[in-house]
Structure 1
Amino acid sequence: MKSCSNITELDLRNVGASCTEFPDGYNLPFRSDGSDRYLSAPQILSLYNYEFHESEWEDMRSVTPHWANDDGSWPVSNSTNSVIRWATEMYYRSRWKWDQLSYEYKCAVGLADYSRWQGHGIARRWYDQRHTPIERLSMENMQLWLEAMDFSKVHTLSIEYGGTRPEGKGLLVDLPPALTGLENLSIQGRWLNWRTYLAEWEAAPGPLPKNKWPSSPPPPALDFILALPTTLKKLTWTKSETVQEDIFDSVLKHQGASLEHLEWTNHEGGFKPRPILTEDQLRSLGKWAPGLTSLTVDLERRNGTLPQDELTILAETLPKLRRLIVNLNLLDERLLMNNTGYDDKKKHASDSVLDVEEGLDLFQGLRKAKVGEKFDSVEFRQGEWTDDWPFGESLWEDRYWVRCWVVEKDGGPGARCKSGSEKAFDANF
C-alpha cells in the first residue's frame, strides 16, 4: 500500500495467530506520528475480525518499566536548563539500554522468564516513540488509517467478525464521513459490546437485581449506517437480530431513497424465533425505498400457513422489484420456545420443506399481484444459508430451495419452478 499505487481491492482477514509480531497480525501497522501515507486508494475493502479500536498506547502502558512516569510515558526533565534536560535524557536512555542487555543476558543463562515487553518488541516501540505525545499514541488504529489512506474511492465495503467485535470512535464516528463514494455496504452482527452495557446497568441507581431492559440496547452498527452519506445502492445486514421499528425504519428513511438492493436477514437457528418484518414494515419498503430492484428478507410460515399476504404486499408496493429471495422457517415458533426434543424438531423440519407445487402457487400469487415491472426470478429458501459452520445439531446443515422464473410459451409467458437441496458444508472439511 505504501509502495504500490494501483491496488484497487483489499481483503484483510484475521483468523487467528499469525507469523508476524503483535500487533501487526491483527490490524495494519501505522506510525503514531502520522507520517504513513498509502499510495493506493482501494475501491473495494473487505475486513474480517479487524481490530479497529486498538492503539499503541493501550498495548504499551500496562507493561512500561517501573522508572517510567506514572502514566507510563517517558521521563522528561521540566528544567529550562538544556544541560539538565540532556543529562536526564541520557540517564533514562542508559537505563533503558541496561534493561535490554540485562534481559538478554538473564534469558540466555535461564535466570529470567520470557517477557512480552521485550520479546514482542514493545519496549523498542516505546523507546522509539518516547517523545511522541500521548494523544498521538492513544489514537485508534482506524484513526491512523484514515490519515494514511484516501477512503473517498471506496465504493464497496464489507465488515464481518468472529471474535473481534467492530468498535471504537474511529470506526463509528470518524470513518463514515470519509466514505463519500460508498455505494455497497455489507455488515454482519450488531457490534454490541454487552460488557459495556452490563457495566452501565450495574452502575445505575437502585438495588440489584434490577428490572430487565425495556428493550434491547440499540446496536452500534445502526449508528454506523446512519452516519454514512446517503449514497448507498446496496445494503446487506445479516445477523442484526432485530427489525425493531426504531431501527429498521431509521435505516430505510436514511438510506432508502437511493437503495436498489436490500438484504436484511437473520439465521433461523437459535434459542428464540428470528425477528420478522410486520406487514406495516413491508409496506414501508415501498414508501421509503421505492427503487428496490432486488430484495432478500425473512418471512414466517406459521402453523403450515404460507406468507402469501406478506408476499402480496411486496408485489403491490415495490413497482421496480424484479428479483426476490425469501427465507422461510423450518420450525414453528412454538418448537423453538418450548423444550422440544431434537427428533421432533427434525421431523417437523422435514415436513416443512417447501415443495415445487407450493412454491409455484406462491409465485403465481406474486405475479398476479405485481405492480410495475415483472419478476425476473423469485427464490424461496430454507435451512442454513449463512457462512457459519453449524456446530451441534445437524438440523441446520442442509439448504433447501425452490427457484421460480418466467418462460415464454406459445400462449404467452408462463411460470416455471424447480426445487432442490444441498449440503451447506463439505463433510470432508
Structure 2
Amino acid sequence: MRSFLRHIFIFSLLVLASAKCPTYIDTVVPRGQNAVYGKREPGDPLLATMRDVHKTLSDCDSLKSLKLRVTNIGCSEHPDRWNFPLDLASGSIYPSKLESLDLEGYHFGDRMWDEISEPPYRTNSKFWDTMEWIGSGRALKWLRYLPLSAEQKAKTNLDLLLDAMDFGSIKNLTLRPRSLKVYGAWAKDLILGVPENSLTHLSWMFSDETGASVLPVLQHHAQSLKSFEWREAESGIRQRRVMTAEEISEVGRMAPNLESITLDVNRNGTWPMEIFDALATNFPKVTNITVFLEFASECRRQLEASMEGVYGYGQWKLDLESDCSSGIESMAQPVLDTKPATKLFYRLREKKVGDLLKKVVFYAGDWERPWDGALAESEWLDGRRTYFLWG
C-alpha cells in the first residue's frame, strides 16, 4: 500500500512539474492571461511580467508558440520592462523550438549596456541618483559587463534575442522567416537581415520610409514575395507617406510574383487614376488589391493640428470658427461611397493586365485597435471609417 501511495505521490509531482511548462504562451504584460487578455490552459503559469515570460522561455523546452503584447494599460498599469532581460555577457538560451512567434510592443532597439550604465542625474542630487543606481542592481551588472568588448556592449536586444532563440523552426511570425509582419522604423535592419529572397509575405507598418526609400528594402525580397503590404494608420494631423504611380510601377517590375498588394493612397479633390492604373497594369499575377484611403480632409487635419494642447473653451472656439469642423468639408474629397467605389473597382477590372482580380477592398478612416493605454484623448477621426469589398 505504501509503495502504491509513493508511486502516486511521485507521479503527482511529475505531473505538477510538467504543468509548469506550457506548450504555448499567449499573454499581455502587465495584465497576464485573464478573461480579457491572452489565454492559458489549466496549470499553466500566470505570466504578467517580462521576467516571468523570460524565465519560462529559459526553463521550458516544450513551447511551440509565443504570442506576447507589451503595453501600458490605463493610467496605472505598466510593464516591468519592455523586452526580455537577456544576459549581455554569457548570453541567454531559450531551448524551445518555437513554430509561431508574435511580439507586439517589444522594444528591440534597446541596449542592455545603456540600461545599466549610470543614469543622467534627474533629481539634482548626484548622491541619491548614485544610491538608486547601486540599489537597483544596475551598478553590479555594470561592473560585470565592464570587461566586455565595445562590439558586445553595443548589441541591441534584437541581437541578443537572435542569439538566444532558435528561429530555424519558426513557420509563422509576426517576426517570421517566410511571412513577416512588423511595425515601426526599427524593422528595416531586421528585414534586410533576413536572408535575401527568403520572404514570401511582407507587411511593414509605420516604417517612417518614403515611397522612394522603401524600394531598396523591398528589393531585398522582391523576387520571392507573393504578398506585400506597406502602409500606416491615417493621421488626424498630417498626410501619410505614399507611393507615386512611378514607384508603384517599379514595385511591379521588382516583384513579378506578387499575388496580393496593400497600399495607402491619398487624394486631393480628384481620384488619382494614375495610381489605380499603375496597380492594374504592372502586376500580372496580382488577384487581390487592398487600398487604404483617407477619411479626413486636409482642412480637418489642419484644424486637428491647431487644437493640439488646446482644451475646453479654446478648442470649442476653434471648432466653431472652422469651415470644416463637420459635414462634407471635414471629409477627404471625393468622398468614398458606393458610386465612386464601384467605378474604381470597374476601372481596376477593366485595366487589369494578366490574371483576373478576385478581391478588391477599399478602406478609409480609423481601422486601428482602440487605444487602451494611459491618458487617452479622443480625436475626431476615432471610429470614423468605411469600406467596400468586391470578391
Fold agreement, TM-score > 0.5? yes
Q: Structure 1 residue 29: deviation in Å?
A: 2.8
Match of 1:254 among 195, 220, 223: 220
Secondary structure in 2 aligned to 1:344?
Answer: coil
Asked whether 1:398 is paired with 2:384, we answer yes
Measured in 2, the distance between the counterparts of 1:270 and 1:34 equals 46
Match of residue 199 from structure 2: 232
Asked whether the equivalents of residues 236 and 381 of structure 2 are also in contact (C-alpha less than 8 Å), the reply is no
Match of residue 92 from structure 1: none
Amino acid at match of 1:374: L
User: Identity over the aligned pairs, expressed in percent?
Assistant: 30
Match of 2:261 among 278, 281, 295: 295
Asked whether 1:187 is paired with 2:182, we answer yes
Match of 1:52 among 87, 103, 108: 108
Match of residue 324 from structure 1: 289
Asked whether the equivalents of residues 228 and 260 of structure 2 are also in contact (C-alpha less than 8 Å), the reply is yes
Q: Structure 1 residue 158: deviation in Å?
A: 3.2
TM (normalized to structure 2)?
0.65
Match of residue 387 from structure 1: 369
Secondary structure in 2 aligned to 1:264?
Answer: strand
Match of residue 355 from structure 1: 337
Asked whether 1:377 is paired with 2:344, we answer no
Residue correspondences, number: 299
1:112-261 matches, within 5 Å, as 116-117=132-133, 119-122=135-138, 129=144, 133-135=147-149, 139-158=155-174, 182-191=177-186, 221-230=187-196, 231-245=198-212, 247-261=213-227
Amino acid at match of 2:286: L
Asked whether the equivalents of residues 183 and 232 of structure 1 are also in contact (C-alpha less than 8 Å), the reply is yes
Match of 1:306 among 267, 271, 284: 271
Q: Structure 1 residue 24: deviation in Å?
A: 6.5
Asked whether the equivalents of residues 268 and 329 of structure 1 are also in contact (C-alpha less than 8 Å), the reply is yes
Measured in 2, the distance between the counterparts of 1:334 and 1:12 equals 39
Structure 2 unmatched runs, 5+: 1-56, 120-127, 307-317
Secondary structure in 1 aligned to 2:58?
Answer: coil
Q: Cα distance 1:375–1:139, how it changes in 2: closer, same or farther (>3 A)?
A: closer
Amino acid at match of 1:38: Y
Match of residue 326 from structure 2: 346
Secondary structure in 2 aligned to 1:47?
Answer: strand
Q: Structure 1 residue 23: deviation in Å?
A: 10
Q: Structure 1 residue 138: deviation in Å?
A: 6.7
Asked whether the equivalents of residues 353 and 400 of structure 1 are also in contact (C-alpha less than 8 Å), the reply is no
TM (normalized to structure 1)?
0.60
Measured in 2, the distance between the counterparts of 1:269 and 1:185 equals 24
Q: Cα distance 1:336–1:125, how it changes in 2: closer, same or farther (>3 A)?
A: closer
Measured in 1, the distance between the counterparts of 2:275 and 2:110 equals 45
Instruction: Write out per-residue CA displacement over residues 59-99 of structure 1, whole angstroms, 9 at most, x where no aligned residue.
Output: 44428xxxxxxxxxxxxxxxxxxxxxxxxxxxxxxxxxxxx
Structure 1 unmatched runs, 5+: 64-111, 160-180, 192-220, 406-429
Asked whether the equivalents of residues 295 and 323 of structure 1 are also in contact (C-alpha less than 8 Å), the reply is yes
Q: Cα distance 1:113–1:316, how it changes in 2: closer, same or farther (>3 A)?
A: closer
Secondary structure in 2 aligned to 1:134?
Answer: coil
Measured in 1, the distance between the counterparts of 2:188 and 2:199 equals 14
CA RMSD between the two structures: 3.5
Asked whether the equivalents of residues 57 and 134 of structure 1 are also in contact (C-alpha less than 8 Å), the reply is no
Measured in 1, the distance between the counterparts of 2:79 and 2:154 equals 15
Q: Cα distance 1:241–1:123, how it changes in 2: closer, same or farther (>3 A)?
A: closer
Asked whether the equivalents of residues 359 and 404 of structure 1 are also in contact (C-alpha less than 8 Å), the reply is no
Q: Structure 1 residue 383: deviation in Å?
A: 0.5
Instruction: Write out per-residue CA displacement over residues 160-216 of structure 1, whole angstroms, 9 at most, x where no aligned residue.
Output: xxxxxxxxxxxxxxxxxxxxx71112222324xxxxxxxxxxxxxxxxxxxxxxxxx
Instruction: Write out per-residue CA displacement over residues 28-68 of structure 1, whole angstroms, 9 at most, x where no aligned residue.
Output: 233444264221122332223334354554444428xxxxx
Q: Structure 1 residue 306: deviation in Å?
A: 2.0
